[in-house]
Structure 1
């Protein structure tokens, strides 16, 4: 049986393969309106650091949107990935409440939000850099099915997700996921 923590760890690894060779592409525009790839990666790394701190009861060392990348973006991602993975493997990680910028929530729901961040931003980075070969179709398909079951209307607002865009049913899973969330893939 695959747990949400297993899925988080797999998404950390998948996105890590995309991040490992971003190089100078960081100044390119992201699929997220108004962001560069650097902005998006920084947001992702900041989120990983904040989740890890919240789960382990430590200080993240900055705010979610602080500059987490410095001059070594891939190293910053790797360091955050280690902390994040360790935090989610804590025996009590899925119990209790997790405080996020928009409020406290059950740890199970926070884990799903974190998985969404990892998979979606990883797909954004991969599409933007032409590295979709590094994505895991099962991760994207699982998240898309989960989001469809949950209902997403409350999250379709500026700064989160847009209205669903048309996408062929036989398109790759990452394209269907991103189109569902209002991202222009083509």
Structure 2
């Protein structure tokens, strides 16, 4: 009988693993993002290179997580954690460099809209008790980006995306209001 291969945090994203393993990988990346944002290196060149590497790594993992969520179900903890880390990293770049990163956040935000619409549908038949608490934060962050884009450009697609996210967030709100009464 062959010995099973041990998987580590450095295991390639192309290797199929379970949800908990992905959550461990993402948690490790989140720790790096938190240290990067809240305990920055005094070496500005290193800080910029590290930010780019973290963004590339999280961005490469994101489509893998979206694909796996469709296969594994709707819990989405690793996906929610990954998007939250990406938003944190991009917000830090905006604060640190004074750059307008709204255009950098737009693709991620739009992917969240498309993915959440595909995965959650209209939101009415969802079992909210089985969803990760990281999902509402991701939806909220995407809604903020869509709102800013809509105010900036007036483009209808951003307004519609914002309404979609607000509707899904409204369902989460109802679910937790009911849970608070029991």
TM-score, scaled relative to structure 1: 0.33
Whichever structure has more helix as a proportion of its residues is 2
TM (normalized to structure 2)?
0.34
**Which structure has greater strand proportion?**
1
Q: Which structure has the higher relative contact order (CA within 8 Å, separation 6+)?
A: 1
Structure number with greater Rg is: 2
